[in-house]
Amino acid sequence: QGLEHHQQRQSLYGFWIRGFKELRLQQIADALDELEVEVNSSLAELGLDGWELRFDVDRETKAGNVQRGFSVTVLSPANAKPVPWESWSGGEQQRLRLAGNMGLANLIRTRMGVTFPLEVWDEPTKGLSPEGVRDLLACLERRARVEGRQIWIIDHTAHNFGGFASTATIIKDRNGSRIEQS
């Protein structure tokens, strides 16, 4: 009776362990579905019309094992099949990263039920073409207006963009540093 009792308990424990793994996988899948929606809505605004990112993590194999890993699939209108992230140019990768950051920020705010009056982007134009910079700045201007928040852009390059409420330039020279605001 002792062995049979332990086998039943082990079977019961296995049932609950599998159940919690499935629950965890479902919660992750739900969050990734939300993230895909958020990220993909930003791609067109950043000049990547028809592009799509897909996210996947921890999948159960046919053998019942869990295959671990986070994967990002990049689909573009120019390719019939997904292309690895690393194959895209620096500017395309930067736009994909920016869309990912925007989507993740939106997901976190939604999931946490909080709003932030300020968003700070550190060198978001790095690696972007002039067209990419214009798309990004227009996207951030719309984001600030629609979401009612200030968006600060910290960049080593001065940008002439009419959508800025104001700009502050930090100038360093042999006399020290000063701030010029316009």
User: In this predicted model, what pLDDT tens digit does every residue of 54-83 receive, in sequence order?
Assistant: 888 766 667 877 777 777 889 999 988 888
For residue 120, give every residue at least 6 positions away whose Cβ sits within 8 Å of its Cβ, in sequence order, or none.
151, 152, 154
Q: What is the pLDDT of residue 59?
A: 62
Whether the model clears a pTM of 0.85, i.e. scores above it, the answer is no
Q: What is the pLDDT of residue 60?
A: 63
Spacing of C-alpha 25 from chain mean position: 20
Question: Which residues of the chain are modeled with pLDDT < 50?
Answer: none
Please state the φ and ψ torsions of residue 173, each to the nearest 5 degrees: -145, -170
Count CB atoms within 10 A of the CB of residue 95.
27
Q: What is the pLDDT of residue 95?
A: 93
For residue 84, give every residue at least 6 positions away whose Cβ sits within 8 Å of its Cβ, in sequence order, or none.
74
Do residues 109 and 115 touch, judged by C-beta distance below 8 A? yes
What's the pLDDT tens digit per position in 35-46? 999 999 999 889
